[in-house]
Amino acid sequence: MAEETVRPSGTVGSAAPHDEGCPELARNRSSVLVACVGLLIALVLPELPLGRLLASATSTRDNIGIEAIAIPFATTAILLVYILLVERRSVSSIGLRWPTWKSFAFGIAIGVILVVVMVVSFSVVFPALHLRFNQAAMNNVLHEPWWFRFLLVTRAAVFEEVCYRGYPIERVQELTGRKWIAFVVSVAAFTYMHLRYWGWAQLIPVAFAAVVLGLYYIWRRDLASNMIAHFVADGAGFLLPH
| Domain locations in the chain as residue ranges | 19-238
What does the pLDDT average to over 28-55? 82
Report the percent of the chain where pLDDT is more than 90.
62
pLDDT (tens digit per residue) in 48-68:
876 555 544 444 455 566 778
Note whether 166 and 217 are within 8 A (CB): yes
CA atoms of 83 and 80, how far apart (whole Å): 5
CA atoms of 175 and 237, how far apart (whole Å): 36
Angle value at C-alpha 109, between 108 and 115, nearest 5 degrees = 85
* Number of other CB atoms surrounding residue 192 within 10 Å: 16
Note whether 168 and 189 are within 8 A (CB): yes
* Number of other CB atoms surrounding residue 161 within 10 Å: 27
pLDDT (tens digit per residue) in 124-139:
999 999 888 888 888 8
Helix, strand, or coil (residue 12): strand
| pTM reported for the whole predicted model | 0.84
pLDDT class for 110, splitting at 50, 70, 90?
very high
Predicted local distance difference test score (pLDDT) of residue 50:
64
